[in-house]
Amino acid sequence: MSVNTILFDFDGTVMDTNRVIINSWQHTFRTLTGAERPVEDIIATFGEVLYDTMAKFFPDVPVNEAAEIYRSYHRNNFGPMISVFPGVRELIKELKARGYTLAVVTSRLPSTTMEGLEKYGLSDYFDLVVTCEDCSKFKPDPEPVLIALEKLGKKPEEALMVGDTLYDIRCARSAGVKSVLVAWAVAVSEEDRNGADGPDYFIEKADGLLEILSALS
């Protein structure tokens, strides 16, 4: 059975949200501790569920309180700080023109997910958007991908998951879906990429996905 469905992660895959995420964390650190943290500490958490990371960084602060400090800054600065990664918009349009079913599968809230997609005119290209509000479990658990497949009426062997963290890769693998890691991922080392949890495929540029799909057809 050939691949006809592409599932995209949002943060770090379709949309460059790195700056707004890092700045939101630094604002939270300044507010709660009076000092910023090394950027590397923040990047190491990319892909984690926000509340889990909050509990780890601020064990003495109620999670909801810490999360609201983060989210308030994030909401107020989201639009101006995001952009689409090079070639991704063109890739999405080409995939749609070729008849592929497209979905976003993200742990982000629906409000900012849709804000980002709508800002860059991408929302109409996706048949489905699965966010944290649709799931009870999150990446690397397979539930988000399985929910997407069920809603789309697709089988795992019909889909590819494109992501930028090992959470995306593990989620896809657990759901029985082949995975693609993007080269612009900042939280995955070359050692990770080539390790046991590495992806099935790796693309240097966005249009590299078209070559993979041609080989699979």
Q: Are residues 71 and 167 both part of a single domain?
A: no
Q: Are residues 169 and 212 both part of a single domain?
A: yes
Is 200 part of the annotated catalytic residue set?
no
Q: Are residues 203 and 110 both part of a single domain?
A: yes
pLDDT at 55: 97
- Number of compact structural domains in the chain: 2
Q: Are residues 176 and 97 both part of a single domain?
A: yes
Q: Are residues 33 and 128 both part of a single domain?
A: no
| Domain boundary, last residue among 81, 100, 129 | 81
Q: Are residues 170 and 69 both part of a single domain?
A: no
Nearest-5° Cα angle at 91, 88 to 92: 90
Report helix, strand or coil for 132: helix
Q: Are residues 68 and 132 both part of a single domain?
A: no
Tens-place pLDDT, residues 19-37: 999 999 999 999 999 999 9
Q: Are residues 98 and 146 both part of a single domain?
A: yes
Please give the model's pTM, rounded to 2 decimal places: 0.96
Q: Are residues 110 and 204 both part of a single domain?
A: yes
Give the N- to C-terminal CA distance of the chain in Å, as an integer.
Answer: 9
| Domain boundary, last residue among 81, 97, 125 | 81
Q: How many CB atoms lie within 10 A of CB 60?
A: 6
What distance in Å separates the CA atoms of residue 183 and residue 178, rounded to the nearest whole number?
A: 17
Beta strands across the sheet bearing 5-8: 128-130, 101-105, 5-8, 159-163, 178-182, 201-203
**Which residue range forms the structural domain that includes residue 149?**
5-16+84-216
Q: Are residues 74 and 102 both part of a single domain?
A: no
Each residue's pLDDT, cut to its tens digit, for the chain (217 residues) gives: 799 999 999 999 999 999 999 999 999 999 999 999 999 999 999 999 999 999 999 999 999 999 999 999 999 999 999 999 999 999 999 999 999 999 999 999 999 999 999 999 999 999 999 999 999 999 999 999 999 999 999 999 999 999 999 999 999 999 999 999 999 999 999 999 999 889 999 999 999 999 999 998 8
pLDDT at 204: 97
pLDDT at 197: 87
Query: Which one of the listed residues 9, 16, 164, 168 is annotated catalytic?
Result: 9
